[in-house]
């Protein structure tokens, strides 16, 4: 690709110095890279400025609000949303380039992700293709700005799917996966507490077992060996830890947390 593609690649970061260079290297073919950093304390911003002058700092508050604010900084109508732990393959870059040159017939496109634990590609258990809406018209796309975690995406049809994948280095290792589980269940519990959800222990146990069974058996996670078993257990534990932390908030065990969560 000899000329830059009229596309804004938007990346949000926080302390990603060990991964951001490979991410940005994979999108050098795009005309613009916009990076919004959550006040990293490592070399993330310094490295990012080697690739783009458009580096901004913004404190992460609500994920959907944070992402929408980042997209609003894009100069081009078409945006590719990328995380620091993701890489665009040459095949996907070529597909996006050809699509934008001939003129898209959809408002946005879902892109499949090859999810890795370390260097292991998890092909089963619902981990692949795990497609997400990542290439879209800025004017037609937005995230819900209420949910603390896993915000819903809104976009008018039509929408399409790209053939090639993003490489997603989901977890550096099992320790990283457990740390991410801890952070995300904190946010999930806050969301439930804010929404005044009625969540019981028996429904939680049922959902735990269901998540594990679907990941490990129904979606054949067992074919990924130890990694597949770990991810299935992790899926079940997400439900239980979210409930346990939600219970703490309701009972006032997490006094500081409760004070910071707005109640409607």
pLDDT tens for each residue of 206-253? 999 999 999 999 999 999 999 999 999 999 999 999 999 999 999 987
pLDDT level of residue 254 (50, 70, 90 thresholds)? low
pLDDT value, residue 258:
43
pLDDT value, residue 3:
78
Answer yes or no: is pLDDT of 73 > 80: yes
pLDDT tens digits along 149-172: 889 999 999 999 999 999 999 999
- Measuring CA to CA, how many Å separate 224 from each of 119, 217, 234? 13, 11, 14
**What span, in angstroms and rounded, lies between the C-alpha atoms of 126 and 206?**
19
Question: What's the pTM value of the predicted model, to 2 decimals?
Answer: 0.91
Q: What is the mean pLDDT of residues 184-195?
A: 95
Kindly indicate whether the domain formed by 5-110+133-163 is annotated with CATH number 3.40.50.261.
no
**What span, in angstroms and rounded, lies between the C-alpha atoms of 245 and 243?**
6
Q: What is residue 221's three-state secondary structure?
A: helix
Q: Which helix (H) or strand (E) holds 230?
A: helix 225-251
pLDDT tens digits along 52-69: 999 999 999 999 999 999
pLDDT value, residue 252:
86
pLDDT value, residue 259:
43
Q: What is the mean pLDDT of residues 2-27?
A: 95
Ranges of each domain in the chain? 5-110+133-163, 174-260
**What span, in angstroms and rounded, lies between the C-alpha atoms of 145 and 264?**
16
């Amino acid at each position: 690709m000899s000329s830059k593609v009229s596309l804004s690649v938007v990346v949000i970061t926080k302390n990603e110095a060990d991964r951001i260079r490979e991410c940005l290297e994979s999108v050098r073919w795009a005309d613009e890279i916009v990076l919004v950093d959550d006040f990293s304390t490592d070399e993330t911003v310094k490295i990012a400025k080697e690739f783009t002058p458009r580096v901004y700092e913004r404190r992460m508050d609500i994920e959907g609000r944070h992402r929408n604010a980042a997209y609003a900084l894009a100069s081009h109508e078409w945006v590719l949303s990328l995380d620091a732990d993701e890489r665009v393959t040459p095949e996907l870059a070529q597909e996006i380039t050809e699509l934008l040159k001939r003129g898209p017939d959809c408002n946005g496109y879902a892109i499949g992700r090859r999810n890795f634990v370390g260097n292991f590609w998890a092909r089963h258990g619902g981990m692949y293709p795990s497609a997400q809406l990542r290439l879209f018209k800025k004017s037609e796309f937005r995230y819900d700005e209420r949910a603390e975690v896993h915000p819903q995406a809104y976009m008018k049809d039509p929408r399409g799917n790209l053939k090639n994948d993003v490489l997603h280095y989901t977890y550096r290792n099992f320790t990283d996966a457990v740390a991410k589980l801890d952070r995300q269940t904190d946010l999930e519990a806050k969301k439930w507490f804010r929404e005044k959800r009625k969540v019981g222990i028996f429904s939680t146990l049922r959902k735990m077992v269901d998540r594990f069974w679907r990941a490990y058996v129904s979606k054949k996670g067992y074919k990924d060996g130890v990694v597949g078993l770990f991810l299935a257990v992790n899926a079940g534990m997400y439900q239980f830890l979210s409930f346990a932390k939600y219970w703490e908030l309701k009972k006032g065990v997490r006094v500081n947390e409760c004070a910071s969560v707005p109640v409607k």
